[in-house]
Structure 1
């Protein structure tokens, strides 16, 4: 069969057949819209698949093709030269805008203590709800690490913080992630996927229509308690431990999953990380580098280590209350959360 008559449907069928044979999956179980990685396709298999595909089509192809077009449908459409590959950004949505152009928030997704969505968070703020609580038992044994005397080695002088519920829960199949990989993923990465999806829905942006377009991802992330726990078990480290806990992947996984093609950056500037992420997102939008931007941050407290460190530095408030600029101020309280906003230049958002 000559290359000219290999339609997207023919290429899809070949890819399904090869994926089935390579990974031992029944063809009918393969969804052409699911990412290759969701079927457990590793880097070695991906490069081999690209080589076999190049030989079958009798044309040169990039060894990284499977990563550039992350689903069978997208790859087949690209190779067939189809103009039907989803892409939402009109010409008017691209290119730089004025340095003074206002940037607007068109969508929000969030998880905060006592509030699992933007409406609940607004109600919490409006009603002045105090969402600080004692350390939950599913994090760590607070009494094993607490002492009112901040000088005691290995102890923290506070039992308080802001905590999210059910951070161990994750619908991996929804995002096309294999259970084994999901187990190794830092819950911070899982939360970011969930709130990014919700923010895009809130913005009225269908993710499949954004695939392949100039959408930037800017994520503030500073801690990695889950990864430190894994690295302490050398025998338990597997192929997913690295990507599951690398801060860079917190942003890159979002870009890969949704096939976003603008900058994908994880930022660590400590407490200002998410603020700097939004600053960089705005700059990217104004320069025309991104046509749409996803920006935000995440933090989970899965270990007492940082609280112990801050206790020794005199930074923790023993009563778990921040009293900024007050004579009674005696430190601050740590908290968990994940928040993502979808940003666009104002003139292109209406």
Structure 2
């Protein structure tokens, strides 16, 4: 079956990029054939139409080759396995299984069960419910305040606060030698150092050595689960998963400068979700995700995929980011990537870069049918 799925995928890729099937290497990454975010979107749309799936473009980054993609689809989509399993009955039926569903519907040969009524909607069995959330953002200490800011169209970008660093001390032309930046803007959350360590069974001293991102992660995962109506006791031993977008905040350098001793468990962003899974005794997947600006989106995709693949019964997906040192501002300024005006102006001729910001947001996800019970 796996070979047939791989061959069928190769046919679809061949049609899309106009490359002969014989020239496609199943072990070669698709982006080496010129795929980008736009063409991956087109491929996802095509495969969804052909195989009646619900793929999103990030799947092609997680499973970059035809071989890996075929393996993922076979393992994660029972409907696709059923479609290709008819090949065992004979070559004629196998060909019918791989034929695009849309074409077969046009010819009236099959009646698609559970066909969606609206373009882009999902079958009931694939729908995911958001049953809880928590977050903290610039000038918004919780989700309600964040919503108020959106409604009011409030600009939450500000000058770099003194408790982060003195922006005046490093202000200058980034094109010159030295660690300088001409950007003094960003989005910063309040209370980034606030944490109740004893609540999580962590000593105050150990908490001081923890990256604030890990503290925020633990706090808002807990709050999101609480918002969903779960207690820590009720989830202990459950198949609950964590998928968290995260990255290095530079806190380890600050600890070293202050004469402290770095604790890998509290500093490495890759261990943040694992620590929270340990604290809550969760037995589902526990994964950090770092794909730059798309980290939280990829984490959300991973959570939805895990629920669809029955790898967990409940999933928390989200991301956390803090800006604790000027290193990122300096490096990105030298690369010409940051906005000097402190404004993102996408698709405008006045655009001069992007603006860095802090934030943490967590969503609790569950299959819709399970959430409605």
Question: One fold, TM greater than 0.5?
Answer: yes
Aligned partner of 1:128 among 150, 153, 166: 153
String of CA shifts for 1:106-145, please: whole Å, max 9, x gaps: 1110000011111111111111010111111000111111
- The answer to whether structure 1 residue 246 and structure 2 residue 268 are counterparts is yes
- The answer to whether structure 1 residue 164 and structure 2 residue 189 are counterparts is yes
Larger fraction in helix: 2
Aligned length: 253
Distance of aligned partners of 1:294 and 1:223 in 2 relative to their CA distance in 1, 3 Å threshold: same
Which residue does the alignment assign to 2:355?
A: 333
Distance of aligned partners of 1:163 and 1:260 in 2 relative to their CA distance in 1, 3 Å threshold: same
Q: Indicate the RMSD between aligned Cα atoms, in angstroms.
A: 1.8
Q: Which has the higher contact order (CA 8 A, sep 6+)?
A: 1
SS at 1:236's partner residue? coil
1:3-18, aligned counterparts within 5 Å? none
Which residue does the alignment assign to 1:306?
A: 328
Using the alignment, how far apart are the partners of 2:229 and 2:309 within structure 1? 24
- The answer to whether structure 1 residue 293 and structure 2 residue 318 are counterparts is no
Which residue does the alignment assign to 1:273?
A: 295
User: How far apart are residue 257 of structure 1 and its match?
Assistant: 1.0
Using the alignment, how far apart are the partners of 1:200 and 1:98 within structure 2? 31
- The answer to whether structure 1 residue 155 and structure 2 residue 180 are counterparts is yes
User: How far apart are residue 203 of structure 1 and its match?
Assistant: 0.9
SS at 2:131's partner residue? strand
Using the alignment, how far apart are the partners of 1:252 and 1:223 within structure 2? 16
Distance of aligned partners of 1:119 and 1:301 in 2 relative to their CA distance in 1, 3 Å threshold: same
Which residue does the alignment assign to 2:365?
A: 343
Q: Is the 8 A contact 1:113 1:163 kept in 2?
A: yes
For structure 2, which runs of at least 5 residues remain unmatched after alignment?
1-75, 81-122
Using the alignment, how far apart are the partners of 2:130 and 2:79 within structure 1? 17
Using the alignment, how far apart are the partners of 2:361 and 2:217 within structure 1? 8
State the TM-score, normalized to the length of structure 1: 0.69
1:1-350, aligned counterparts within 5 Å? 100=123, 101-148=126-173, 150-231=175-256, 236-237=260-261, 241-350=263-372
For structure 1, which runs of at least 5 residues remain unmatched after alignment?
1-94
